[in-house]
Amino acid sequence: MLRFLVRRLLQAIPTLLILSILIFAWLRSLPGGPAGALLGDKATPEKIADLNRILGLDDPIFIQYFKFLGRAITGDFGNSLVSAQPVMSEIGNFLPATLELGLCAMLIAVCLGIPFGYLSARFRGGAVDNVIIVLTLIGVAVPVFFLGYMMQDVLAAPLGLPSQGRQMAGLDATTVTGFAVFDGIITQEWDAAWDAITHLILPAFALATIPLAVITRITRASVLDVLNEDFIRTANSKGLTQPVVRRRHVLRNGLLPVVTTIGLQTGALLGGAVLTERVFNFRGLGFLLAEGIERRDYPRLQALLLFGALVYVLVNMLVDVSYGLIDPRVRVR
Amino acid sequence: MNTLLNKKKEPIDKLAASSAKGHSLGGEALRRMLRSPVAIIGAVITGLFLLVAIFAPLLAPKDPYERYLQSEVILGQGIIPGAQAGFPLGVDDFGRDYLSRLLVGAQNTLLVGVLATVIGVVVGMLIGGLAGAFGGWVDTVLMRLVDVMLSVPSLLLAISVAALFQKPSQWTVIVAVSMVGVPIFARLLRGSMLVQRSSDHVLAATSLGVKRGTIVLRHMLPNSLGPVIVQATLTLATAILEAAALSFLGLGDPDPNRAEWGIMLSRSARQFLDIRPELAYYPAIAIIIVALGFTLLGESLREALDPKNRR
């Protein structure tokens, strides 16, 4: 198991290295080079030359790359042009919000997607199946940001849910970890925890739509596949009761591909978070990225894109590893 | 003996001819699609969209760029005139006829979607084809690159490419969105090439002394096209959605004259949802229907072309 983990970790390194080269080249190919990008509007030829000297941009290109890599590994991506803070500390401050939102959305997608997909497969061809399929198709066809605005416009008022930000204005909540709900619970400020939860509901559902639709469809397809397997016929013919067959044989085997899908859908979640957080003014990493795009804040964009890829690679690695844990057939290899 | 052979020969020939006629994968796929309601709905939506897009300039009742009711728009007070005689869907914030803009928008939306998909297909197939045809270190290098592209979530990839350009335009959107498809098509084609490299028909062609280039182009490529066409249809739907997302993030074409659904939707959703929500609804519904159409068509194509479903 440990060897498998180490091997997967080692496999991720070249990918990330090449990615770092591309991002290095990306910043370098901007007009004015990185110095121009760092200075933004304030760039003059003299200032660029000064900064080039300070940043060591007169060095040979590969030495520059290794310096960049060294700084990147220690988390030094320079300062944001918008906030003038180190980009890494910005990421640290905004990460909990996105984690909270992303986990909530994934929870919704998994907790609804698996039952929906299973029901759909069980009543294949029936009304339930058709309704679920149509909904999943529409789910992936709706632009996420439009859905967010729709929820704000149509659902927020009748449900009494807030549609902006992470916290009610003027609420006195203690920040311990940055996870608003968790902070509310450990400091026993129940109103703060509840307030944070209500702020999460709409954006989390908006963000969950695409993963929900995909997980539903994968579950359905995979359960249908499993139902055709020989071992299900065997289980039925040796007289196991239906609930036992469904739980032990159909569901357990049917959920394997779903685990992979969850990993892949983290990507959709990371992209969707940019749109959702912008719509709901939910101050997380996606919001940071959207703001960075509008202001052409290249140091911030560079760090966030690399961070996004890192998270995506790590999550999929974790999924691979967990696959080995739950499916003995994979472990052998 | 002789008579027996002669007797049998004819029916067997006929049988072979009829079975060859009735069982080509393409023909059967088409027949299966005609029987499936999902495929027909998808094809009708896609067909209508194509017709509207192609004939948009003729269909548009008014000039989509003329600011007819500009004097009646007072944004400071939140006034945009609604639907009225001559303007069945109302006007936008410049006082331009919204119906005409939606119709012409179909053309630009199709252009963005198709070009982004085509570029993705061509570049992806080039990478995947080279990797699959040559193998060895070419394969390793190219597939590493594809892995890296896949390691960035799709929207983030499009964002990073789009942010590269200082001045956003329709073309930067097309290029950015097309990059999302590149690794997918490369993987797809390479996989199918690898399977075929060791297949009997390629072996037969090789032993007949057919040149490698000819084998790749004439024997391997045509057999890999099915899945590529399916994926391209599905990619068209996501390309339109991703272009809209880029517009929303401010990476789209800033030209206010350009009528494109993604731009219309993101501008209206951001700015005029309180004043005239329908200005966002119309392009949104158009995008949803078209994306749905391409998805339905792609999914039913996939099912119809799947040899497992042949009977």
Percentage of chain B exceeding pLDDT 70: 90
Instruction: Dihedral sign for Cα A314, A320, A325, A331, please.
Output: negative
**Cβ pair A15, A314 in contact under 8 A:** no
- Residue B170: other Cβ atoms inside 10 A: 18
Decide if pLDDT at A286 tops 60: yes
Least confident of A169-183, A303-317, B75-89, B279-293: A169-183
* Contact status, residue B72 vs residue B81, Cβ threshold 8 Å: yes
**Nearest by CB: B244 against A26, A143, A296:** A143
Residues of chain A neighbouring B289 (CB-CB closer than 8 A): 141
Q: Do A19 and B160 touch (CB under 8 A)?
A: no
Chains A and B: how many Cβ contacts under 8 Å? 118
Q: Do A301 and B160 touch (CB under 8 A)?
A: yes
Examine the pLDDT at A315 and tell me if it is beyond 80. yes
Query: Pick from B148, B249, B291: which is nearest to A22 by CB?
Result: B148
Angle at Cα B145 formed by Cα B140 and Cα B146, nearest 5°? 95
pLDDT beyond 90 at A71: no
Task: Please judge whether B145 and A18 are an interchain contact, meaning their C-beta atoms are less than 8 angstroms apart.
Answer: yes
Query: pLDDT-based confidence at A30, cuts 50/70/90?
Result: low
The distance of A64 to chain B (nearest Cα, Å) reads: 20
pLDDT one-digit tens code per residue, A253-272 = 888 888 888 888 888 898 89
Give B84's strand partners: B87
Q: pLDDT value at position A101?
A: 94
**Mean local confidence (pLDDT), B63-68:** 85
Q: Does A29 touch chain B (CB under 8 A)?
A: yes
Token digits of residue B53: 């897009």
pLDDT greater than 50 at residue B205 = yes
Nearest residue in B to A291, CA atom: B249
The pLDDT of residue A314 is: 86
Spatial distance between the Cα atoms of B254 and B260, rounded to a whole number of angstroms: 11
Where is average pLDDT lowest: A109-118, A210-219, B93-102?
B93-102
pLDDT reading at A292 higher than 50:
yes
Assembly ipTM:
0.84
Q: Could you read off the pLDDT of B29-48 as tens digits, one per residue?
A: 788 788 888 889 999 999 99
Q: What is the pLDDT of residue B3?
A: 47
Question: Which chain A residues touch B291 with a CB distance below 8 Å?
Answer: 140-141
* Residue from B20, B17, B37, B38 nearest B28 by CA: B20
Question: Would you call A309 and B153 a contact, using CB atoms and an 8 Å cutoff?
Answer: yes
Testing the interface with B: which of A41, A146, A319 to mutate, by most B Cβ within 10 A?
A: A146
A301 and chain B in contact, CB less than 8 A: yes
pLDDT at B103 over 90: yes
The alpha-carbon gap from B15 to the nearest alpha carbon of chain A, in Å, equals 33
- In angstroms, the CA A312 to CA B151 distance is 7
Q: Indicate whether B311 pLDDT > 50.
A: no
Per-residue pLDDT, averaged over B165-189, amounts to: 90
Give me the pLDDT at residue A61, please. Answer: 75
Q: Do A141 and B237 touch (CB under 8 A)?
A: yes
When CB atoms are compared, the residue of A14, A145, A301 closest to B163 is A301
What is the average pLDDT across B223-249?
Answer: 90
Q: Which residue of chain B comes nearest to A40, CA vs CA?
A: B166
Cβ distance of A278 and B151 shorter than 8 Å? no
Tell me the mean pLDDT in the region B145-156: 87
How far, CA to CA in Å, does B120 sit from each of A69, A137, B99?
30, 23, 31
pLDDT given for residue A178 in this prediction: 78
List pLDDT tens digits, range A146-162: 999 999 888 888 888 88
Residue type present at position A256: L
DSSP letters, A45-96, are HHHHHHHHHHHTTTS-HHHHHHHHHHHHHTT---B-TTT-SBHHHHHHHHHH
Chain B residues closer than 8 Å to A30 by CB: 164, 166
B193–chain A nearest CA distance, Å: 24
Quick one: pLDDT band at residue B18, thresholds 50, 70, 90? very low
Side chain identity, residue A117: G
Best B155, B240, B296 residue to mutate vs chain A (most A CBs within 10 Å): B155
pLDDT greater than 90 at residue B122: yes
Alpha-carbon gap, residue A161 to A165, rounded angstroms? 11
Question: Which residues of A fall within a CB distance of 8 Å from B303?
Answer: none
Backbone angles phi, psi at B212, to 5 degrees: -60, -45
Cβ(A205)–Cβ(A152) below 8 Å: no
Q: What is the pLDDT of residue A165?
A: 81
A153 inside 8 A of chain B by CB: yes
Q: What are the two backbone dihedrals, phi and then psi, of residue A208, each rounded to the nearest 5 degrees?
A: -80, -20
Tell me if A153 sits within 8 A of B273, measured CB to CB.
yes
Q: What is the pLDDT of residue B1?
A: 43
d(Cα A60, Cα A44) in Å, to the nearest integer? 23
Amino acid at B245: A
Q: Give one DSSP letter per residue of A92-114, joined into a string.
A: HHHHHHHHHHHHHHHHHHHHHHH
Average pLDDT over residues A181-209: 87
pLDDT computed for residue A217 by the predictor: 92
Helix axis angle for A190-227 and A127-141, nearest 10°, is: 120
Rounded to whole angstroms, the Cα distance separating B220 from B214 reads 9
State the amino acid at position B60 in one-letter form: A
Three-state SS sequence of chain B: CHHHHHHHHHHHHHHHHHHHHHCCHHHHHHHHHHHCHHHHHHHHHHHHHHHHHHHHHHHCCCCCCCCCCHHHCEHHHCECCCCECCECCCECCCCCEHHHHHHHHHHHHHHHHHHHHHHHHHHHHHHHHHHHHHCHHHHHHHHHHHHHHHCCCHHHHHHHHHHHCCCCCHHHHHHHHHHHHHHHHHHHHHHHHHHHHCCHHHHHHHHCCCCHHHHHHHHHHHHHHHHHHHHHHHHHHHHHHHHHHHHHCCCCCCCCCCCCHHHHHHHHHHHCCCCCCHHHHHHHHHHHHHHHHHHHHHHHHHHHHCHHHCC
Task: State the alpha helices, DSSP H only, in chain A.
Answer: 2-28, 33-39, 45-55, 61-73, 87-122, 127-141, 144-150, 156-159, 180-186, 190-227, 230-237, 242-244, 252-254, 256-279, 285-294, 298-326, 328-331
pLDDT tens, residue by residue, A82-127? 788 888 899 999 999 999 999 999 999 999 999 999 999 989 888 9
Q: Tokens in use for A95?
A: 């990460």
Contact A200, A104 (CB under 8 A): yes
Cα B266 to Cα A83, A148, B239, B245, distances in angstroms: 26, 12, 15, 8
DSSP state of A143: -
Nearest Cα of chain B lies from the Cα of A333 at a distance, in angstroms, of 21
Provide the pLDDT confidence category of residue B66 given band limits of 50, 70 and 90.
Answer: confident
pLDDT band at A11 (very low <50, low <70, confident <90, very high): confident
Residue type, A40: G
Residue A143: the pLDDT is 93
What is the CA B239 to chain-centroid distance, rounded?
7
| Contact status, residue A298 vs residue A27, Cβ threshold 8 Å | yes
Please give the mean pLDDT across all residues of chain B. 84
Comparing alpha-carbon positions, the chain B residue that sits nearest to A145 is B245
> What six digits make up the tokens of A265?
């859908």
**With an 8 Å Cβ cutoff, is A33 touching chain B?**
no
**Residues A263 and A218: beta-carbon distance below 8 Å:** no
- How sure is the predictor about A56, in pLDDT bands with cuts at 50, 70 and 90? low
More confident residue, A274 or A251: A274
Contact B105, B286 (CB under 8 A): yes
